[in-house]
Amino acid sequence: MSRASPLSGIRVLDFSRVVSGPYCTMMLGDFGADIIKIEEPAGGDELRALGPPFVGEESVFFLSVNRNKRSVVLDLKEKTAIDFVRDLVRSIDVLVENFRPGVMDRLGLSYESLRRINPRLIYCSVSAFNAGSRHGERPGYDLLISGVSGLQSMTGEPGRAPLRPGVNLVDLSAGNNAAIGILLAVIERQHSGRGQKVEVSLMDSAYAVLGQLAAIQLNTGTVPQRRPPEDLHPQISPYGTFITADDRYLNVCVPNNKFWVSFCEVLQRRDWIDDARFATNVDRIAHRTELIPLICARFREDKRDRWIKKLLARGIAAGPVNTLDEAIQDGYLEEVGMIVRTEHPTCGQIITPGIPIRLSRTPGKVRMPPPTLGQHTKSIFKPANPVRKPARSPRPRRKGESP
C-alpha cells in the first residue's frame, strides 16, 4: 500500500452489507484504508446474489461498491468468532456496521464494549432511522426511506404517481455522510487521542438532500409540488428539459438577466427582452405559465444538437439528456478516468465507475478488485480461526458409495 495514500495505515473492520455501508467503506479504501470485510458463511453479503445481471458468479451490484477490500468469512454465532473480532479491534481504527439497531449489542460488539478494548476506535453505525428515535427499530431500504422522507413526493411529473429517484440516492447519500463523519472523527482523534461513535441514518440523509425544498416548507408553510419537466425549478425560470424538432431532449438553465438576454437572442425572440412579464427572474416565475409554452414551441423548430451549439456559444448552460451509453460515447468519462477496468479472480475483466474525488498529490487508486467470498480469511486470521467455509451444495453420492 502506497504511503502517499491519505488513509494509508487506517484499518477498517467492515460489517456492512448491501449498499450504504459498502459504498462508504469503498470510498475509504479508494484512498488507502485497509478494509477488512466481514461476511457470513452462507452466501456472504446478500448483495452478491442480487441480480441479474451477473459477471461470472458475482452480481454487478456487488461489484459496483466493493473494490479495494479484503473478504473474511466468520460465523458470528460462534463465540470464538466474536473473541477473534474483539481481539482484532485492538488494532482497528474504524468499525462500520449497518445492521438493524440492537444486533451488534446482542453479538457483544456494541460501541460501549469495544471502546473499552480500544479507546481510539471510531465506530460508525448506519441505520434506517436514528437508533434512539421513535422509529429506531423500523427496517428501511432506499425505496421506503425515499417515500417516508418526502423525497419521492418531489420526483416525477404532476398528476402522475411519485417516483423513486432513478438511482439509490438515499443509500449513496447515507454512505457519503458516513464517510465524511468517519473522516471528521479521524481528524478530531489526532487532537484528542480518543475515538467516538458516528451515527448516520438513511432518513436523515434523505431529508438533508431535499435542501431548499425542505427549507421552503419549513419557513413558509408552503409544500413544494412536483413540477413539469420543462419547468423544474421553483426559484429559476426558465430551468428545465425541453423537446426539440428531432424528438430529443435538452436541458437549459437561465439563472439571471444577463443570460436571459443572450437566451432570447439565441432563440431569435428579442421581443421577450422588452416584455414586462419577463423582465426579471421574479417576473418570469410569476408568468411562467405564459413563458414556458412559448419556449417549448420555439425549441420545437430546430434540432437538439444545433440548439445546444448555439446556446453554449453564448455561455448559456445547456446540454443533452443522454442515455447511459451516450454518456460514455461522449468520451469525457474515459478522458478523466471515471471508467475503471480491473481484473477479477473469477470474473475476468470488470468495469466500474471511477473515483470522483481528485487530490493533486495523493490521489485515490483502485488497488484491488472486489473480493471473492472469504478470499482473505486465511491471510488475516491465522493460524487458527473461527471460520466455516462458504456453504456449497453437497456432491451427490455415486451408486454404492457409503454416506
Report, as residue numbers or ranges, the catalytic residues. Answer: 171
Separation of alpha carbons 260 and 272, rounded Å: 9
Q: How far is CA 287 from CA 36, 128, 290, in A?
A: 57, 41, 6
Number of other residues whose CB lies within 10 A of the CB of residue 137:
13
Supply 152's cell numbers.
419521492
